[in-house]
Amino acid sequence: MLFDKFQAMADFRAELAEQGVAPFGAVTEEILSATEGIVQGRKVILAGTNNYLGLSYDSRCIAKAQEAAQRWGTGTTGSRVANGSFEGHQALEDEIAEFYGVDHAIAFSTGYAATMGMCATLAGPGDVILLDADSHSSIYSGVKLSGADIIRFKHSNPDDLAKRLRRLGDRAGQALIIAEGIYSMLGDVAPLQEIAAIKREYGSYLLVDEAHSMGVLGESGRGAAQAAGVESDVDFTAGTFSKSLGSVGGFCVSPHAELEHIRFCINAYIFTASSSPSVIASTREALRIISSEPERREQLWRNSHQLYDGLKSLGLKVGPSASPVVAVEFEDHANTIACWQGLMDQGVYVNLVVPPASPSTNFLLRNSVSAAHSPQQIDEIIAAYASLKDRGLLTSAEHGEG
- For the stretch 56-107, pLDDT in tens is 999 999 999 999 999 999 999 999 998 888 999 999 999 999 999 999 999 9
Virtual CA dihedral for 273, 277, 282, 285, nearest 10 degrees?
110
On whether both 128 and 211 belong to a single domain, the answer is yes
Give the separation between CA 333 and CA 318, rounded to whole angstroms.
17
Same domain, 338 and 309: yes
d(CA 231, CA 208): 10
pTM score, two decimals?
Answer: 0.93
Whether residues 243 and 308 fall in one domain:
no
pLDDT-based confidence at residue 357 (cuts at 50, 70, 90)? low
Is the domain of 329 the same as that of 383? yes
pLDDT of residue 396: 45
Determine the Cα–Cα distance for residues 205 and 189; give it in Å rounded to an integer: 20
280 in the same domain as 151: yes
Q: Indicate the pLDDT class of residue 141, thresholds 50, 70 and 90.
A: very high
State whether 258 and 285 are in the same domain: yes
Domain that holds residue 250: 59-292
Other beta carbons within 10 angstroms of residue 167's beta carbon come to 10
10 Å Cβ neighbour count for 122? 26
Among residues 247, 272, 292, which one ends one of the domains? 292
pLDDT at 182: 96
Bridge-based pairing state of the strands 28-31 and 363-368: unpaired
43 and 110 belong to one structural domain:
no
Count the domains in the chain. 2
Inter-residue contact 143 to 131 (CB < 8 Å): yes
DSSP code string of 74-90 = S---S-HHHH---HHHH
- The CATH number that applies at residue 67 is 3.40.640.10
How are strands ordered across the β-sheet holding 236-240? Answer: 104-108, 250-254, 236-240, 205-209, 176-180, 128-132, 149-153
Interatomic CA distance for residues 64 and 283, integer angstroms: 9
- Give the integer Cα–Cα distance in Å for 105 and 107: 7
Percent of the chain's residues with pLDDT above 90? 82
Q: Same domain for 280 and 315?
A: no
- For residue 290, name the pLDDT band (cuts at 50, 70, 90): very high
